Amino acid sequence: MTGRRTGFIPRTILAIAAILAGLPPVSAQEMQPRAYLPSPVGVGFAGISYSYNAGGLLFDPSLPITDGHVSASLPTLSVGGTFATFGRTSQFLTVMPYAIANLSGTLDGESQFRYRSGLTDMTFRYSVNLLGAPAMHRRDFAKYRQKTIVGVSLTATAPTGQYDPKLLINIGTNRWAFKPEVGISRALGKWALEGAFGVWLYTTNTQFYGNSTRTQNPLWSWQAHVVRLLGRHWFAYDFTYFRGGDTLVNGQTSNSYQANTRMGLTYGLRVTPRQAIRFSYFKGVTTRIGSDISSVGVAYQVIWATGR
C-alpha cells in the first residue's frame, strides 16, 4: 500500500461513518453528524446497525391513544456509493430497516398492549456538495484538506413497510415522504462546525385506519453539530430542533403539532483502514407535542474502492 493510499483511507472511513448515520428515521427527526463530508469518487460502502429506542409515541400521533409508550429495536442494513455529478462530489445511500416493537397505551379508558415486527419504510438519500469539494479520485483526495463545504441533499422514504389499514398501529406509513435539505460544514483545525436545515414533505395516505384519509403538514428541522477530530477517533455533540408536522384525518385536525428539541452524542472509531464503528445516543430535552424518546445505537461500516 502506497503512502498516498494510506492517507486516503482514514479520511474516507470518517466520511462514510457519517453517511451511514446509524438510525434509520424512526421518526423524521434523525440527527446526522458529518453528513456532508466529501469522499473520493468510486467508493462503495455498506453497514449494519442496531438501535434501541424507548419513551413516548413512535407511532402516529393522530391516533386516539393516551399515555403511549414504546420500546423498539431497529436493526438496519445500509449500502451506497460515491460518484461525480457535474464535477462535484455526490453520494447515494439506501437504508433498509426492520422494527421489533412493544407498545402500550390507553384506548377508550382501557390499557392496551401491542407487539409489532416487520419491515419499515425504506429510505433513500442523494447528496451533492456544491461548494468546497470538487469530485476527486483517490490520489487527489489524499492531498485534500477541508475548509468550508456547502451541500444539498434529498431524502425519500418509500411506502415499503408492513401496513394493514385494518390495524390501528402499523410499522409502515403507506405514503411517500421527501426531505430537501441544505447543509454546511466548516473545518477549524481539529474541530468542525456543522449545520443543516430541511423540511419533510408528505404525500396522502388514502387508506388510513377506519377508511379515512390522512394528510400531514410540512415538518421543519434544524440540526447543529460540534465535531472533535482525534486521529482514529471523533466525537460529536449533536442538537436538533423540529416543529410543524400536524396531521389531518378526513380534513379534521388531530392536535398533533410538534415542537421538540433533542440533544445527543456520537462517537466514531476507525477500527481498520477499511472498517469503522460508531456509537450514538440522543434524548428529547423539551417536548411540546410528539415523540419524546431516548435512543442508543451502534453501527458498523465497511468500505471498498474501485477505479483510480
Please report, for the chain, the start and end positions of each structural domain, with discontinuous segments joined by +. Answer: 3-305
pLDDT at 209: 85
pLDDT at 8: 36
- Alpha-carbon 76 to chain mean position: 12
pLDDT at 20: 32
pLDDT at 48: 96
pLDDT at 160: 95
Fill in the amino acid letter for 202.
Y
pLDDT at 65: 63
pLDDT at 231: 86
> How distant, in Å, are the alpha carbons of 120, 126, 163, 213, 215 from that of 175?
12, 19, 10, 11, 10
Q: How far apart are CA 214 and CA 302, in angstroms?
A: 40
Which residues are 96's β-sheet partners?
77
pLDDT at 202: 96
pLDDT at 308: 65
CATH 3.40.50.10190 fits 3-305, yes or no: no
Which residues are 293's β-sheet partners?
55
Phi, psi of 9 (to 5 degrees): -65, -50
pLDDT at 253: 77
- The 10 Å Cβ neighbour count of residue 124 is 15
pLDDT at 96: 94
pLDDT at 10: 38
Task: Copy the grid coordinates of residue 127.
Answer: 447528496
Q: How far apart are CA 92 and CA 74, in angstroms?
A: 22
pLDDT lower than 50: segments of the chain: 1-28, 58-59
Q: How far apart are CA 245 and CA 32, in angstroms?
A: 20
pLDDT at 4: 38
38-66: b (≥16 Cβ within 10 Å) or e = bbbbbbebbbebebebebbbbbbbbbebe
pLDDT at 201: 96
Task: Copy the grid coordinates of residue 168.
Answer: 390501528
- 57-92 pLDDT tens trace: 544 555 566 677 788 899 999 999 999 999 999 999
- Contact call for residues 274 and 253 (beta carbons, < 8 A): no
pLDDT at 104: 81
Beta strands 275-287 and 293-305, pairing class = antiparallel
Give the CA radius of gyration of the chain.
Answer: 20
Q: How far apart are CA 160 and CA 143, in angstroms?
A: 42
pLDDT at 5: 38
E strand residue ranges, the chain:
43-55, 66-85, 88-107, 110-119, 123-131, 148-157, 177-188, 191-202, 205-208, 212-216, 219-230, 233-244, 247-249, 252-253, 258-272, 275-287, 293-305
Helix segments in the chain, DSSP class H:
3-19, 138-141
pLDDT at 289: 54
| Residue among 93, 99, 94, 95 at smallest CA distance from 119 | 99
> How distant, in Å, are the alpha carbons of 70, 141, 232 from that of 306?
43, 14, 23
- The 10 Å Cβ neighbour count of residue 299 is 23
Q: How far apart are CA 114 and CA 143, in angstroms?
A: 54
